Structures are given as structure tokens and as C-alpha cells.
Amino acid sequence: MDLTVSFNHIKLKNPIILASGVWDLPYTEIVDFNKLGGVVYKGISLKPREGNPTPRITETPCGVINSIGLANKGVENFNKEVLPLLKKFDTAIFVNIFGESIEDFSRISEKISDVSGIEVNISCPNVKKGGVSFGRDPKTAYAITKAVCKNTSLPVIVKLTPAASNIVEIAQACLDGGASAVTACNTYQGLVIDIESKKPLFDKVVGGVSGPAIKPQALYKVYQISEGVEIPVIGSGGITNYKDVLEYLIAGAKSIQLGSVIFNNPLAPMEIIDNIIKYMNEKGYRNLKDIRECIDE
């Protein structure tokens, strides 16, 4: 049975990728990273960032909402302290990068090497500069993508925001800028009110909603892009089990990312891989191409 995925110089042993921001190195003691298709290390910036004040995360009826603010120790720390540890695993390693300007993205991308690819974050919903504002504008999305691609020989994946008025247009702009793929999509913007203080729970007001509640919407974004743009799509949003993965693959995704599900079930990646194999055996499928079918809107 063949679970491998290959597109635009990106090769995965299976379609299961850990999304950025939901795990760190201690998680390698719980899940065998050697069995994963890939991992995306949490968003890093040119210099260390403290992130947003606490509280940073809270539960919602069907998921979580966070306002982390891309807290990280910077690209130099990643290269010296994190990457050597991740390289011990036989899996594709991607690093998510964030900047407050096109120049930031350009400079960070120059400093990253010896990984499987770069994921460009133009979609964080809870930062003051950059983030969603970059991901809503096709001209900016194009300019950032082009700047990153100019400064690296690595495959470039752009993580899109669902807040874009026309996500297909944004995906096309990323393709025109040289992107190898897009991730669809980041969290949805949301709000939580503290009824005692009568103020927003988060200092930055808006947070990013993830979890099962967003799956139908994110799935539709994947379908729209797959139908409208000749670019590989990595599906992300609300995936909790192998059936969700199958839906994304059938909708057009080449692979998927797992995020907030691991908060409730740290072993979810292993269970999903095992269940996909079981499903394929039962159906007599030889590879992932056998799963995918054309669907009409």
C-alpha cells in the first residue's frame, strides 16, 4: 500500500502533517515523528517575540480560540537549538515564518536552510502588524511570496486566511509569485467576551477559532481553490479523525494538517494514519489516488 504524497519537490511518506503552533519539542516524546508525513514548526520571526499577554487561549463549544501572537525565540534560535533535534526524525520538516513587512519575510527566508520547505504565514488573525491584512490583499500576497521565493531554493507554501474576500484570487497570486503550494486555511477570526469585566477576553480583542466548528467552511475553501487554481492545496481546519482527512482528500487536498485535535487527543495523528490504512485495505485501494474522486458543486 502506498500512502506517499509528492508535489512540486515536496515529498511526504503519508498525507498527515502536524500544523504549526500546536506542538513543540516535548511532543516528540508522545508521538513517533518518524511515522508522520511531515511537521510544521511554529511561526518564527526575524527576532524573538513575546507574543500577546495572557490569557491566550480558551475553549469554545466546538473547538478553541487562541490569541498567542506568534510568541517565539527567533530564527537564530530555531537554527541552533530546534532544527538539529528535529533533523533526527525521518519526516519532512517545514518551518512557518512570519514578518511585519515584505523585507522581514525576505530576510528570514535567507536564513533558513536544510528543511523540506518554508510555510509563509500571511494569515495570523491576532497580531497588530501583518497577518490577516497581508492575506486579504492579492498584491501583497504576491509580493511577499515573490520575495521569499527569490531568496530561497526551498519549496514555498503560503498559509492563507479564510478572511480573504476571494481566497481563489489570493491563491492565484501566490502561484504567480512562485509558491509551490498553499495551506487552506488558518484559523477564523472570532471574539470572546468576559461577562464579569464586560470586555473582550483577549488583549488584542480578536482570536483565532479552530476545531470541528470550522471544518465545513475550511473544506469548502480547499474545494474552491482546487477547482479554480492549478496549485497543490494542503487542507487544514477542524480535522479530528480519518473520515475528515478523506473528505479533504476527495475535495482536492494533496495532504492535510492536524492542529487543535491534539489538545484533546495527543495520539490522534497515529490513530488517523492507522485508520486510513485500515480503510484502504477494506476498500482495496492501493494508493491515495484511488481515494480521490471528482466532485461537482
Active site residues per annotation: 124
The Cα 42–Cα 10 span in angstroms is 19
User: What residue type is 237 in one-letter code?
Assistant: G
Cβ-contact 74, 210 below 8 angstroms: no
Sign of CA dihedral 17, 23, 28, 31: negative
11 C-beta neighbours (distance < 10 Å), count: 14
Neighbour-count burial for 236-258, b at 16+ CB within 10 Å, e otherwise = bbbbbebebbbbbbbbbbbbbbb
User: What residue type is 225 in one-letter code?
Assistant: I
Sign of CA dihedral 115, 263, 187, 258: positive
Cβ-contact 286, 49 below 8 angstroms: no
C-alpha cell read off for 40 = 510544521
Q: Return the bridge partners of 181, or none.
A: 157
Q: Return the bridge partners of 184, or none.
A: 235
8-state DSSP, 287: B
8-state DSSP, 79: I
